[in-house]
Homo-oligomer: A and B are copies of this chain.
Amino acid sequence: MKISEIAARIGGEVFLNGQLDCEISDIRPIEKAGPGELSFLANMDYERYLTITKAGVVILSEKQSTLTFAQIIHKNPYLAFAKAAQLFQKNNTTFTGVHSLAYVDPTAELGKDITILPFAFVGKGAKIGPRVFIHSGAYIGEFAEIEEDSTIMPHVFIGERVRLGKRVLVHANAVIGGDGFGFAVGENEIVKVPQTGTVVLEDDVEVGPLTSIDRAALDVTRIGRGTKLDSKVHIGHNVQVGKHCMFAAFTGIAGSTRIGDWVLMGGHSGTAGHIEIADRTKIAGMTGVTNDTETNVTYTGFPAIPAPEWRRLQVHQRKLPEYAKMIKNLEKRIADLEQQVSASTKSSS
């Protein structure tokens, strides 16, 4: 692909800077890239490499005509790099079509140009859109629907009636549409409440390895467009997650909680059930949110409080031994004073 075509595809501006609009063969880090290769500078720690890089073209946020290589100008070079990197992704696939060692129910509907590898299982009435890739050992339940260009990695479980949008990527061993954790508790028994709802993953959702998203009790557990879940996230039943959220590993969302758009959650964080997390809330790692949150606020700790207050309390907590000493010292000084005052009162009487 030529420099100008890459620029057009990633929404950047070409600045050839006197160089040829040459063919680019790969993307590499700035200190390793050579002629005919693309690199980028997003982190100023690496600025020194600009004068010595051998890259054929570099993505920068501003034109630098004193440098000697071709440039693609984009206000967010890391984003531009990510888009460019996708253009150069290689596909190692051994096979396309439905492999003879896969099991596909005869009532399943298969789109064009799909791939279904050995030991994958596609249940009755499932609808698989064009160019969907179903890896070895993946399980697609009855009447599940997967739209075009989605990828299901090995050993993924997609439960019955679950619906996936376009370009959804589900990593190995994830479980989409297992039963929600719903029980009625009697005096001598715990009785399962059948979980008859389902799960919807909207377009461009990515689900990490070993992540689970439970089906709703009656309605739908939903993950909004473009949201990215890391490994080992757990989403309880009836949860609604908005668009463009990012949840790190071990994030847990308890049942029926509603989460807005662009919410960030750190590793080992969690929320209680039945609460509302506002748009653009940030939740730090190891933080447990027990109440509704406010937009654009960062929360930390358990129970979660706004991060600046949490940091202030941390400072005070570290000083507790000092405060204890101060209190004891004050007590002694007061006792002394009381004695002196009492003595002087007596002596003056």
Residues of A within 8 A of B (CB): 29, 76, 78-83, 85-86, 88-89, 92, 94, 99, 101, 103, 105, 117-119, 121, 123-124, 135-137, 139, 141-143, 153-155, 157, 159-160, 169, 171-173, 175, 178-179, 181, 183-186, 189-194, 196, 206, 208-210, 212, 214, 218, 226, 228, 230-232, 234, 236, 244, 246, 248-250, 252, 254, 267-268, 270, 272, 285-286, 288, 301-303, 305, 312-314, 316-321, 323-324, 326-327, 330-331, 333-334, 337-338, 340-341, 344-345, 347-348
Contacts and interface: CB of A to CB of B under 8 A. Distances in A.
Nearest 3 interchain pairs by C-beta? A82-B184, A157-B172, A316-B320
A246 to B, nearest CB: 7
Given A212-B232, A344-B341, A184 B81 contact: yes
B209 A212 contact: yes
Given A155-B157, A334-B337, 19 more contacts: A80-B184, A82-B193, A92-B142, A119-B119, A179-B208, A189-B226, A212-B231, A232-B232, A232-B252, A236-B249, A250-B252, A268-B268, A270-B285, A270-B286, A313-B317, A316-B323, A319-B324, A341-B344, A344-B344
A249 B273 CA distance: 12
B285 A286 contact: no
Contacts of A181: 208, 228, 230-231, 246, 248-249
Given A121-B136, A250-B250, A337-B337, A190 B270 contact: no
Contacts of A214: 209, 231
Contacts of A347: 348
Contacts of A316: 320-321, 323-324
Contacts of A79: 184-186, 189, 191
Contacts of A101: 103
Contacts of A139: 135-137, 154-155, 172
Contact of A83 (B117, B191, B318): B191
A333 B324 contact: no
Given A103-B118, A157-B154, A303-B314, A86 B194 contact: yes
Contact of A119 (B103, B196, B341): B103
Contact of A121 (B137, B254, B272, B345): B137
A183 B42 CA distance: 13
Contact of A160 (B92, B228, B321, B331): B92
Given A79-B191, A193-B81, A212-B209, A323 B323 contact: yes
11 contacts: A79-B189, A92-B124, A117-B121, A119-B119, A171-B179, A189-B226, A214-B231, A250-B250, A250-B268, A316-B320, A340-B341
Nearest to A301: B302
A249 B246 contact: no
A94 B126 CA distance: 12
A319 B330 CA distance: 17
A210 B194 CA distance: 19
